[in-house]
Structure 1
Amino acid sequence: MSYLLDTNVVSEFRKKAPDAGVVRWLNSVRSSQLYVSALVIGELTRGIERLTGRDPQQAAALDDWCRGLVHGFSDRIVPVTQEIAETWGRLSARSSLPVVDGLLAATALVHDWTLVTRNTADVERTGARLLNPFG
């Protein structure tokens, strides 16, 4: 089984005191089973850019961490393909979805993966397999 990680799960990697449930779950799977959408990289980059004006030092540290994440997941960063976009279009036509969460659910559906997220309520109606590892 393979898993697509949402931004809220990936962000736990950097915390000094990450959620115990997330840590427990991550320790139970192989890293080769974990994938990240290019959209998650975009959300992280947006956060870095927003932080730059307020705290450039923290933004630089977060940018370094994000570059390491991209390097570590280099062959497991998933683009938004035409098939994913079309799947999202069908899903969002039936029910209002947050755009990025909807695209992540579409990615999980197209690849037959489980979407790992804290935001299960946002995407449960998509039919994607979901896992909330937060304790």
Structure 2
Amino acid sequence: MSEIRKRAPHPNVLGWFTSAPAGELFLRVLVVGEIRQGVDRLARRDPAQAEVFEHWLTQLVAIYKDRIVPVTTEVAEAWDRLNVPDPVPVIDGLLAATALVHGWTLVTRNTADLASTGARLVD
């Protein structure tokens, strides 16, 4: 989600996002947390810009309110299996596990950390 918020988002990402049916897009609760962390960090050095991102995050949560996906027990157990024998970064692994459990494609700019998970990825 942060890629589409950039001043100059990657054209392929923006093209994919604008062409995807909105009702088929989901937002992971972990992504909300990552964005929140970014807003809070930004507030320490640029409060005015943080307010802009705060507003964007509020809108994002409102738009996706019925399509924000939690970490369930099934996702947590799938994440555990992804970490054996080689660990995967926690949030990335949970995102991949969510995609695997639901049969979804994970859209991410960070395919390097997720290539070994078996999740369908779109960069």
Same fold, judged at TM 0.5 (above): yes
1:131 to partner: Cα distance: 0.7
Taking only the aligned residue pairs, the percentage that are identical comes to 54
Please list the CA deviations of residues 56-80 of structure 1 after superposition, one character each: whole Å capped at 9, or x if unmatched.
1111111110000000111110000
1:88 to partner: Cα distance: 0.3
2:4 and 2:13 in contact (8 A); partners too: no
Aligned mates of 1:70, 1:85 — CA distance in 2: 23
1:16 to partner: Cα distance: 2.6
Q: Which runs of 5+ in 1 are unaligned?
A: 1-9
Aligned mates of 2:15, 2:44 — CA distance in 1: 35
1:39 to partner: Cα distance: 0.2
Match of 1:111 in 2: 102
TM-score, scaled to structure 2: 0.95
Alignment of 1:1-135 (within 5 A): 10-132=1-123
Q: Which runs of 5+ in 2 are unaligned?
A: none
Runs of 4+ deviating beyond 4 Å: none
Match of 1:3 in 2: none
Task: Please state whether the residue corresponding to 1:42 is helix, strand or coil.
Answer: helix
The structure whose RCO (Cα within 8 Å, separation 6+) is larger is: 1
Q: How many corresponding residue pairs?
A: 123
Superposition RMSD in Å? 1.0
2:88 and 2:113 in contact (8 A); partners too: yes
Please list the CA deviations of residues 3-44 of structure 1 after superposition, one character each: whole Å capped at 9, or x if unmatched.
xxxxxxx01222232211111111321011111100000000
